[in-house]
Every structure is written in structure tokens, then in C-alpha cells.
Structure 1
């Protein structure tokens, strides 16, 4: 029996989420068998981040192009982002250093104000909310406490002084209330962005796993609970790898240590192609009922290529480790194609228990900023505010293959794949439909038979291509 499907492809030959109904099939067909009764994690969502840099750029565009970008990300005909992130206080992708509590020694935070966010960041979030039919979750992360709360009195590095533990916990509570007063609900927090630090390059604050767990158990968790805030708390929030296992061991040591933690957040900067399956599996097994969310990823240390789709499919992009990673870690940072990195990483994460995946900046300019530290990066959408032009890169369409078709509440399902050169993942949505994402990073097209029960269909995928195959609810 024929299997009824819709097939959408993005490829190096120019397809951009193009629906395909006719296939050029060769003689050899591999097999992908879906196993819907074999179930794994529940999906929280996919999306990107609201940053001051992105919001400022959108405000620099014409109203038509500003709306075009937001519709592309949040509209029903667009990527339908469902899980997002933003920064609490400034980050590297802010226009300057700032804190909501700038007054030194203000333990009661009487000076607390989110006025800094009212011009750019909050309008971007509110306009996205107005566009999104299904809504989206917001995960908020601090890069640092105000310098006056830290032992080095600096935006960069240092640790939270013990006498300000309760003040810093109060800061989170006040932030929730302030955003709520603007009509914005905060779904969750990470306790600290990159607690292991970033060589003191931009806003940061250091925690050991023991220090963060103490802060969460004795200050942040009880304060949010006492103030009636139903909000998720995710720990760690840095790279996957051996460090992740160490943090999972401390956070999930026992019921007391894990009481206020709802999960762990991770980043991908430990490697350009290795998604560290072992550490993800280890972390999930430590606490299978808790969230495991990829909270940040971007092509870092790169200046975007403008209106050059092929560059995003070619192995010309490098990352921070290409130049100065230790010799024993160089292999983790080769040249890579940006599309390959996104597609490989998201599929690899999903197949190893990650339930949410969040990109970094939604919008950057042709320089890869603005960024006060000049830490240039890639983004799915690049804009030229001087010319009022918008470029949707192939990364945007790659992300859309997941966010548009795998919806919150979906359950990842099992599969068997006879062609190991194809990466595959699959999920069953709450409406009963199934989304299968297949990535072919090779230089030849592939043919395969997709099977669900006794129903099959023969499909071809172009070389250097990603496909989402949507199977409607058959019941």
C-alpha cells in the first residue's frame, strides 16, 4: 500500500523548503522503517534567541521588512518557532554593558528596572507573540550579576559574593514580575550562561557545579517558590562533553540536590561536528524525567557571507577552535559547512534525548553583529539596515525543517535505517502526524523506501540536502 506523505526539501541545488512530489529514483533503494511504538523523549520545542542586537537591527529596517522577518520566524506559514531564549542583563550581543540594578549596594533592589529593554528587546518579543498562533516558551539567562555583587567588581569573570546570594535570587523574581507587567511570561531560567567562563572576553560569572547547586537549593529555588513563580530552572548551560557529566553528577546526586532543578541546558561549542552522544546519554540516564535542552548554538568567529547560498553548503567556515584550540582538541574543530553543522547537530541531539534546541541570534548584520566585544557570528537571517535588505540564509531553512514540522509535545519515535550515510530522526506530533527528517550530506543523491506498518513509498533525496517528510494522521 502507498504511504501518503508530503516532502519538503532544502538543498545545495537551490531548494528552500520546496515541496516535492516527483522523484528520480535509481536502481538501489535503501530502507527507512518507522517504529511508532518505540518511543523516547517528549519534545519541548525549537527556536532562536531574542537579543538586543537582533531587536535593534529589526528596528533599523522598514516596517515591511521588520514584519517579514518576524512572520518568517513566528508566523503560521513560517518556521513557527516554539522555544526561545533571551538574556537577563546585557550579553556580548548587546549594544553596551548594562544591568537592571546599577546602584551599588542596593540589596533590596529598589533601583531595579528593565527600562533598557523597552526600546528594542521587549517590542520584538511582544510583536512575535502577536504573530505566533500557538505561542512560544521563553528561557531567560543571565551572563552576569551586576559587577557590584561580584568579588572582582567587573562585568567579566569573577564570582558572586556570598552576601549577595539572596539579592541575586531576588533579581530573578523581580525580572519575572517586570516582564509579566509587560505582558510577557518567562517559562524558565538557566542559572548562569557558561558558568565555566569564556576567558573573560565578555560578560560572565563563574560557578562550580557545587556552588551553583548550593545557590539554587538555598536561595534561587526557595525564593521563586516563596514568590509564587511557576518557572523552570535549568542548570549548567555550557558545552557538552566530559564537563557535562561532572555537572550531572553533582546536580542529580540525590533528591535534595536535584529538588529545584528542572533540567540541564547545554551548548554546542565544544566541537563543530561531534554532538557528544555519550555525555548526552549519560545525563539523560541520571535524570530521565528532567529537561535536556540545547540552549545556544551559532557559527561563531565568522563574518556572514551575503547573498551567497553556496558558502553555507561548503566547508569554508571555521570556529573559535580552528585557530587556537589545544592540539589534542584540534580534531574537534575542522572546517565545516554551516548547514551540515546545524542539520547534523540537531538530528544527533534529538537521537540522544535532547528535547529542545535553541539557536543564538535570530538576526545579525553583514558584519555578524552588532556586538560590543566584536565577537562576530552567523545568524539564520542577515540584514543590511543601510539598504533595508534581508537575506534568509540556508541556515534559516535548515532550522525550519525541525521547528515547523516537529511541534511541542511531539514524541520522538524509533526507526531502522539501512543507509548509515543518511542521518534520520522522527517524531509523532500531538495531532497524530509524523515528521521524519533526513539529511544527506554526501555528494550523490540517495534513494530509499520509507515504511510505516504495511504502507511504503519510494523517495529520492538530492545530494547535500535535508528533507522533512510529513505523514498526516492516518487514523
Structure 2
């Protein structure tokens, strides 16, 4: 068990930042209730934080769709800037770190920079083949950017929901062979730059495809991925077991299940207890 946690999107960080501005005492109390790992303090003790690299579908409306390098064709990454992310995101992470010294941070993109994609938009589409190597370098730069802000990285994923391309928010279709190729390139870059201990997660999508995409990824990625992660929106949690039976040495994480309003309180609670 790596821990329990949540995703800190731009929108969530902005909400917390606004709370800090209007009522600092309540802000710090809330962070304590969520993240204080001390036994006996009556807190959730969350120890795992998943953070989007660039814009996501939960970015604040006041924030433009952005990546960490929006200069078209900048394969040297001269204009790479980790501070393209809103400052309140990093401020919130830093505040959480003061409460929880064992926090694990997992970063991942909803989309590569628009100029790397076909069509050239962060909303939907796919990664242009001419930028596969550049994208691996971009992800390495993101690791270095977070580490430069004293945020140690526990894990990185290549792509959130690679089987989803939606033109209404940042997303990217990424076939298995492409994710495998980028994973291999990123693993080599990480190992050569002192980041061999950071995990690379594959898949990041629904239970329903547990014996297809992630299995093919393990077959093609030459050991680059040591973990796979699942989302709850299609299929059942039992399907994780089908993958585990094939690859018992690969760690399995459940990394996303956005809550919705149900029609029956008890049925909702039962589903969450059974599946999460």
C-alpha cells in the first residue's frame, strides 16, 4: 500500500488558496484534517498527491489552457517554464509539505504541449510522431522543475487516460505503441539524470480495458514501467485482478474516481466501500 490521497488540480488549489486568503485559520485546520499523518489526531492522514502537468479539465476558468512550454517548435526547451503553472498550485503543495513530511507526489499530463500534437491543440487529438523523443525530454524537464521547487517526485505517468480524446478539455489519444516508446525513452533519461528511483506508471485509464492496453504495454515497453494505474469509470475493480494474474510483479494503483451525486445514499456508500 503506497498510501491514500487525491488529485490536486488547479481548481482545487485555487479553492484552497482562496480559503487561505479569506480565513487562514480554517485553511490550516482543513489541511491538518486532510494531511496530518500523526496517529491519534483525528485526521485523514492522506499521504499521496496526484498533480496535473499543465491544464486539465479541472483547471480554473481564469487560467488559460497551458503547458510548461507553449513556444511552438521549442525542442531545445529554451522557453520551458515550470512557473507556467499558477503560483497557488505550488504554494498549496508547499503548505501541505509542512504538515506531511512523507507526502508522495505523482505528476502526469492531461496533454502534451499543443505544438507537439495533431491537430495543434491541447484539447483532444494525438501526439505527432516527430515529437516522441521531445515529449520524453519535456517530461524529464517537468520532473526537474518540481524537484527544483523542493517537491520530490514519487512517480510520473506518461499520459492521463490515453484512450480518451475530447475536444472540450485537455486530453490526448495515445496508442499503446506510442506510450511504450515514450516510456522507454523517459526511463533512459531518468536513469541517466539521477532519477532512477522515480516510478513510471502506465495506462491511467479504466478497469474495463485491464487485459488489453496495459498488458500490451508491458509486452512492448521493455521493462520501462514498474506500475500501472486504473480509473473507475468503466468496468469493475475485479478486472484489476486479471491484469495482476498476468503481471504479479507490476504494482497496481487506483488513481482516479471522480465523485458524482447518486440517487441513493446507501448504494453510493456501498459502491465506494466495495470498489475503493
> What TM-score does the superposition give when structure 1 sets the normalisation length?
0.53
Equivalents in 2 of 1:48, 1:258: separation in Å?
A: 30
Q: Does 1:268 align with 2:226?
A: no
Equivalents in 1 of 2:214, 2:142: separation in Å?
A: 27
Q: Which residue in 2 is equivalent to 1:292?
A: 252
Q: CA deviation at 1:210?
A: 2.0
Q: Which residue in 2 is equivalent to 1:105?
A: 73
* 1:84 aligns with one of 49, 71, 74: 49
- Alpha carbons of structure 1 residues 161 and 291: separation in structure 2 relative to 1, 3 Å: same
Could you tell me whether the CA contact under 8 Å between 1:193 and 1:204 is conserved in 2?
A: yes
Equivalents in 2 of 1:156, 1:118: separation in Å?
A: 19
- Alpha carbons of structure 1 residues 337 and 64: separation in structure 2 relative to 1, 3 Å: farther
Q: Which residue in 2 is equivalent to 1:223?
A: 189
Q: CA deviation at 1:200?
A: 2.9
Gaps of 5+ in 2: none
Q: Residues 112-168 of structure 1, C-alpha deviation per residue, up to 9 Å, x if partnerless?
A: 1121335211111111111015x1211111000111100100111211112211211
Equivalents in 1 of 2:268, 2:89: separation in Å?
A: 27
Q: Residues 40-73 of structure 1, C-alpha deviation per residue, up to 9 Å, x if partnerless?
A: xxx1111111111111111111111111111011
Q: Does 1:47 align with 2:5?
A: yes
Equivalents in 2 of 1:338, 1:226: separation in Å?
A: 46
Q: Does 1:127 align with 2:95?
A: yes
1:242-253 alignment runs, 5 A limit: 243-253=209-219
Q: Does 1:170 align with 2:137?
A: yes
1:365-444 alignment runs, 5 A limit: none
Q: CA deviation at 1:208?
A: 1.4
Q: CA deviation at 1:228?
A: 2.1
Gaps of 5+ in 1: 1-42, 303-311, 317-335, 347-475
Structure 2 SS opposite 1:205: strand
* 2:274 aligns with one of 344, 359, 365: 344
Equivalents in 2 of 1:201, 1:342: separation in Å?
A: 28
Q: Residues 385-443 of structure 1, C-alpha deviation per residue, up to 9 Å, x if partnerless?
A: xxxxxxxxxxxxxxxxxxxxxxxxxxxxxxxxxxxxxxxxxxxxxxxxxxxxxxxxxxx
Q: Which residue in 2 is equivalent to 1:204?
A: 171
**In proportion to residue count, which structure has more strand?**
1
| C-alpha RMSD of the superposition | 1.8
Structure 1 SS opposite 2:141: helix
In the comparison of the two structures, how many residue pairs are matched? 265
Could you tell me whether the CA contact under 8 Å between 1:252 and 1:286 is conserved in 2?
A: no
Q: Does 1:182 align with 2:149?
A: yes
Q: Which residue in 1 is equivalent to 2:107?
A: 140
